[in-house]
Structure 1
């Protein structure tokens, strides 16, 4: 079936309708190109230490040598990484990929139950873990396929004496490193030393080989591993680079990577796109320490930053952020959750740069739609489908809906995953016979080809037969100056089936429920207005900062 592509008429100048998926046969080819072209330039910085592309080359080769030469891993074996952003992350990731193996990214905040599921499901035989989370791994190892643990301290790649001091402070002063004992575990630095004795052989990597098993859907049921191939990741890197690259200079960009690299957004947008451009990734280990984060930003001339709405909102509400020199800043990209108008407008006012909203999923590696970089103001859209990507809106019977009608957003393109790891039934539910990935997001398209997310199917609130979309309610409540954060959910009601409840974290402690309701009355039609206003000290979130609406629905006030 032919599909209309009105979005192509609204592409920014210089953005192609199609990308060259075959320019790089694998992620390792992208890395090699960056090493060849930008070898002496800074690649990654963290906690005051910088590694050049040549240094990443050497160290990742050593790690690959250890995995193949010492552990005798075979092509396609899975290696798990359980760390926040630190220099060991890119070294390990590129080492694993260069060895022809698959990276299993693990959220370091996982509980024993969650970690056990992911290790058992993925079949990972090796795990690299930061000491801070070593006790979780220790408690998890029984009944998993893991046969080698590699452990590392946050300071291990920082050199002497700084690295020693960092490790000492974390363990003995801040008490952030628990005691644990894993027989046979090896230190990361020792693994690199052993790897030197095993030069990296020529490893044949096919475009269809699985580069990453990215686990997703943990908040909606059992977590599933999205199989992201080298082709998927390279395609999405090419798509995003074609979209944003016209405004950027090769070898001269510095991006703030505060979102964790184990999250697909940072992995592709920051890790791969900026590697292709010879950019410098400045890794933030603990962005939740907002005062510390702002202090770090003051010392970096950064040209780009990515994040989620809660991260940008947190920065804007941290003293000193408005005193940073934003003159080098060219690009701010928001994704992972809806960007709120109030946050986007304040970001533009504070930094002088538009907060450009993008949309994607783990299953699309992740970018599917991005707003034009030359957008001057917040437009409420998730943007236009990126090059080589088709998007449409379908009804429940799988029929494409016309412009303006709300249905399920579906995506087709080279960035769409191979499927879910060892879950053919789930794969068949997600990707239909025509190759469309069903996102589970309710959306509509306007006549120019811009897509608008109305909401997640499961988050939709049904009030007396009327659909209420939490994003809309949240956007309105977020306009109140006294609101720091807000989430809207549906709660059962005898009369109307459901009513709207908003849960608010106050910025101004004098804010009252009546003020919130009065504001809602002015801005929302009757059935959309919150009947219940609840105040909390914080909202439940994933480690990446997405608000967990389900938890707000399921749990009483805490």
Structure 2
């Protein structure tokens, strides 16, 4: 069982009539899920999708995403998750670079019609489009059998992650790798068919997709997605659906615990990361429910290290645990964290040079993060070599924002850094050198909102006469951060 389609069949056989998926009024068993996935696979094949073609999905966390994603994979296609916060320009870039043959797209989500935005902007739209309505149940498709052979080493997905050059890179993984990291995550969290898993992390992230959907597929845990995070609604879901497992960024747990009369007693496991986790918050979480774990990973490796049940609050808050999913861990030059193992990505899509920079000749993935390893083999992240910062759990790469600003009329130069924010962890601050004296903060933010996802838009703007640079011309961002 080293392919995702085989895992779907295995789940139907092992867990049968147990509840597989709960999304509002939609409830289905593992057998029903398998049947709907088979119908979706047949729809893709009838729409002209062949083995190895790319299928893009731009939709929120609902049952539609689960069924169409697993359906595309069962048709032998490669999955291309698209961030629902992306603008039409950003979405079109991914569709073009992957030569997507099909697009699953939410027809109305958060007040936006993404398909209309693509067409109105004159962008290429794949030949087969499958619109889904997040507020409506998935239209049942006739159960069909698709006879497509899928190999464990076939590319299962291409997940895009921004790089320091400012252009996103598509990290490719094989079916066996996607399942291996999900299996490792499930083992560390001791996830079983008795669990009910609230998936708040977006499905377009590896956390929501691989550490969410695939973990449930392997263990029989019930998938309970939340399309848009809302603390009160999430708390009600935990209570009403007897949720036992809930990962998320630290801010998610903070906002839920701050609600009056919160009842999270059904939870037995919370997994967090993607930002600094205060020891006091971990202690508060442990007091409110049960086990709290932290983990470290990235799109290129998904789950590299993870704590184990029983680790104390200080360990959970200050480390990311020890190696998982077959990874080797060592500290390289400049204390950079290096990872090696069978689950390092296959490479970046159509970018051998970037792949070579990321993975050296000995197979070590250079993460760009700085850290140390203690006597137990537990990893602590101390800094980042790259300029990336984390806003509300989302990675933001300043170079991408800076490239957008470089195309803005009135901007002569810019540099973006992450600054502390009580609610989101970090937010972007843009230092802008004006070309036109009348340029305002509102102008800069409005322009960015038109070309960038909202979490990438700088929350603060400061106008300066000149950016500090060293002799080679590199911007001295540490000086900007000190301001």
Change (3 A) 1:144 1:338: farther
- Does 1:423 find its partner at 2:351? yes
Q: What do the CA deviations read for 1:201-260 (whole angstroms, capped 9, x no partner)?
A: 321111121111111116861111110110210111222233222xx4x42111111111
Change (3 A) 1:455 1:554: farther
Q: What do the CA deviations read for 1:141-196 (whole angstroms, capped 9, x no partner)?
A: 43425112211212331xxxxxxxxxxxxxxxxxxxxxxxxxxxxxx73xx54x65
How far the C-alpha of 1:339 sits from its partner, in A, is: 2.3
- State the match for 1:290 in structure 2: 231
Question: How many angstroms apart in 2 are the aligned matches of 1:53 and 1:208?
Answer: 25
Question: How many angstroms apart in 1 are the aligned matches of 2:423 and 2:4?
Answer: 44
Which ranges in structure 2 are unaligned for 5 or more consecutive residues?
399-416, 425-447, 464-483
Q: Which of 28, 32, 43 is 1:55 aligned to?
A: 32
> In structure 2, the residue corresponding to 1:64 is in which secondary structure?
helix
- Does 1:97 find its partner at 2:77? no
Map 1:95-494; keep pairs closer than 5 Å.
Answer: 95-133=71-109, 135-141=113-119, 142-144=122-124, 146-157=126-137, 189=139, 193=141, 196=143, 199-217=144-162, 221-245=166-190, 248=191, 250-287=192-229, 289-321=230-262, 324-326=263-265, 328-349=266-287, 351-364=288-301, 366-379=302-315, 380-395=318-333, 407-459=335-387
Question: How many angstroms apart in 2 are the aligned matches of 1:156 and 1:103?
Answer: 23
- Conservation of the 8 A alpha-carbon contact between 1:357 and 1:371: yes
Map 1:60-71; keep pairs closer than 5 Å.
Answer: 60-68=37-45, 70-71=46-47
Question: How many angstroms apart in 2 are the aligned matches of 1:220 and 1:136?
Answer: 27
Question: How many angstroms apart in 1 are the aligned matches of 2:420 and 2:380?
Answer: 24
Q: How many residues align?
A: 410
- Conservation of the 8 A alpha-carbon contact between 2:60 and 2:202: yes
> In structure 2, the residue corresponding to 1:233 is in which secondary structure?
helix
- Conservation of the 8 A alpha-carbon contact between 1:84 and 1:108: yes
Which ranges in structure 1 are unaligned for 5 or more consecutive residues?
1-23, 158-187, 397-406, 461-469, 475-486, 490-499, 508-539
- Conservation of the 8 A alpha-carbon contact between 2:197 and 2:245: yes
> In structure 2, the residue corresponding to 1:333 is in which secondary structure?
strand
> In structure 1, the residue corresponding to 2:79 is in which secondary structure?
strand
How far the C-alpha of 1:547 sits from its partner, in A, is: 7.6
- Conservation of the 8 A alpha-carbon contact between 2:180 and 2:325: no
Taking only aligned residues, the RMSD between alpha carbons, in angstroms, comes to 3.1
How far the C-alpha of 1:555 sits from its partner, in A, is: 5.8
Question: How many angstroms apart in 1 are the aligned matches of 2:63 and 2:418?
Answer: 43
**Which sits farther off after the overlay, 229-238 or 99-108?**
229-238
Question: How many angstroms apart in 2 are the aligned matches of 1:555 and 1:219?
Answer: 22
Question: How many angstroms apart in 1 are the aligned matches of 2:92 and 2:376?
Answer: 47
Q: What do the CA deviations read for 1:80-102 (whole angstroms, capped 9, x no partner)?
A: 11111111111101100111001
How far the C-alpha of 1:280 sits from its partner, in A, is: 0.5
- Conservation of the 8 A alpha-carbon contact between 1:127 and 1:148: yes
Question: How many angstroms apart in 2 are the aligned matches of 1:307 and 1:244?
Answer: 14
How far the C-alpha of 1:48 sits from its partner, in A, is: 3.2
- Conservation of the 8 A alpha-carbon contact between 2:235 and 2:264: no
Change (3 A) 1:506 1:53: closer
How far the C-alpha of 1:104 sits from its partner, in A, is: 0.7
Change (3 A) 1:329 1:219: farther
Map 1:492-507; keep pairs closer than 5 Å.
Answer: 503-505=420-422
Question: How many angstroms apart in 2 are the aligned matches of 1:372 and 1:146?
Answer: 44
How far the C-alpha of 1:130 sits from its partner, in A, is: 1.2
Question: How many angstroms apart in 2 are the aligned matches of 1:336 and 1:228?
Answer: 21
Question: How many angstroms apart in 1 are the aligned matches of 2:38 and 2:146?
Answer: 10
Detail structure 1 runs of 4+ shifted over 3 Å in the superposition: 500-507, 545-548, 550-556
- Conservation of the 8 A alpha-carbon contact between 1:215 and 1:223: yes
TM-score, structure 2 as length reference: 0.78
- Radius of gyration: which is bigger? 1
